[in-house]
Amino acid sequence: MSAGFQTIVGLGNPGARYDGTRHNIGFAVVDALRATPIDGDGSGVDSDCRLNARAAIAGSLGSSGWLERNGYSESALRVGDWSGALIKPQTFMNRSGEPLQSFLSFRKVPISQVIVVHDEIDLPFGVVRVKLDGGEGGHNGLRSISERCGGRGYVRVRVGVGKPGPGSPLSMAPDGVATWVLGRFSQEEQPIAEELVGKACGAVVTLLLQGLKKAQNKYNS
């Protein structure tokens, strides 16, 4: 039995110049989900999605299977007895709520049935956590969604990309965090980033098939 979610939203910035950046990890996760055949019970989804993670991070999976709507890209996903929509807002990050509001209004989907996948600087690189409600932690994409789409009562899959370490020039620069999230994964970071995408895909599928508590028990421990 599915857990009541109808829509999965991956956050990122549109355009090739942002492909492969930390800020676009949400796009990479939904791209990997769409490109990966998933067994009915979701078993092995982490490793299966990881096979498509490199191409997903690079933004090279192409637009096949995505429908371009007014301000967002939409595709379908089916996992077991669950079926619903994948959404990638095509506004810039800080306006993510505008196209999502249009989609939710048109489809009559409440915000409580939405999963948002996003980059999270307050988690170490490689860590995934599942959260319901709460603040946005300075994430402009989440803030836009909360303001435009009916509040904070949606589930977040927080994909840890870390932040500049102490002593890093970026940690002391006024725009250091922005530069960090808009930077690309290094060659050394790439394998961890691919594993991270697979893990986040697993968190989404666990939410869909088993619900919030099971996903939190598995990924938040």
Catalytic residues: 23
Query: In this structure, are residues 124 and 165 in contact, taking their beta carbons and an 8 Å threshold?
Result: no
CA distance linking residue 152 with residue 203, whole number of Å: 19
Q: What is the DSSP code string of 161-172?
A: ---PPTT-HHHH
Cβ of 51: how many Cβ atoms within 10 Å?
A: 14
Nearest residue to 1 (alpha-carbon basis) of 220, 210, 217: 210
Query: In this structure, are residues 74 and 54 in contact, taking their beta carbons and an 8 Å threshold?
Result: no
Sign of the CA dihedral 86, 29, 117, 174? Answer: negative
Helical H runs in the chain?
A: 25-35, 45-50, 53-58, 97-107, 140-148, 169-172, 176-181, 190-210, 212-219
